[in-house]
A and B are shown apart, each in its own frame.
Chain A
Amino acid sequence: MQILTTPFFGIFLSLIVYLAGQWLFKKSHGLFFFQPLFVAMVLGITILVVLAKFLGQDVANLYNTAYRPGGDIIFWFLNPATIAFAVPLYKRNDVVKKYWAEILSGLLFGTVISLFAIVGVSKLLGLNRIGIASMLPQAATTAIALPISKAIGGNSAITAMACILNAVIIYALGSWLVRRFHLDSDPIGEGLGLGTAGHTVGSAFALKLGSVQGSMAAIAVVIIGAVVDLVVPLFSHLVL
Chain B
Amino acid sequence: MSQQNKNATTKKTKPAPFLVQMGIYASILFVSNIISSLVPASFPVPAPVIGMLLLYSLLSLHILKIEWVDSFGAILINLIGFLFVPSGISLAANLDIMRAEGVQIVAVIMISTVILLLVTAYTTRFFIWLKKKHPARSKKTKVSKGVPVRALSHVKGEN
Contacts and interface: CB of A to CB of B under 8 A. Distances in A.
Interface of A: 10, 13-15, 17-18, 36-38, 40-41, 44-45, 48-49, 59-60, 63-64, 67-68, 71-72, 74-75, 77-91, 93, 99-103, 105-107, 109-111, 113-114, 117-118, 121-122, 125-127, 131, 135, 138-139, 141-144, 147-148, 151, 155, 157-158, 160-162, 164-171, 177, 181, 183, 186, 188-190, 192-194, 196-198, 200-201, 203-204, 207, 218, 220-222, 225-226, 229-230
Interface of B: 25-26, 28-29, 32, 41-49, 51-56, 59-60, 66, 69-70, 72-74, 76-97, 101, 104-128, 130-131, 155-159
B120 A197 contact: yes
B131 A89 contact: no
Contact of B108 (A110, A135, A157): A135
A72 B104 CA distance: 29
B117 A196 contact: yes
Contacts of B94: 60, 157, 160-161
Contacts of A221: 49, 52
Contacts of A197: 113-114, 116-117, 120
B44 to A, nearest CB: 5
Contacts of B128: 99, 102, 106, 186, 188-189
A189 B119 contact: no
Contacts, number: 343
A189 B46 contact: no
A91 B66 CA distance: 9
Which residue, B55, B76, B116, has most C-beta atoms of chain A within 10 A?
B116
A186 to B, nearest CB: 5
A75 B90 CA distance: 10
A175 B72 CA distance: 26
Contacts of A38: 88
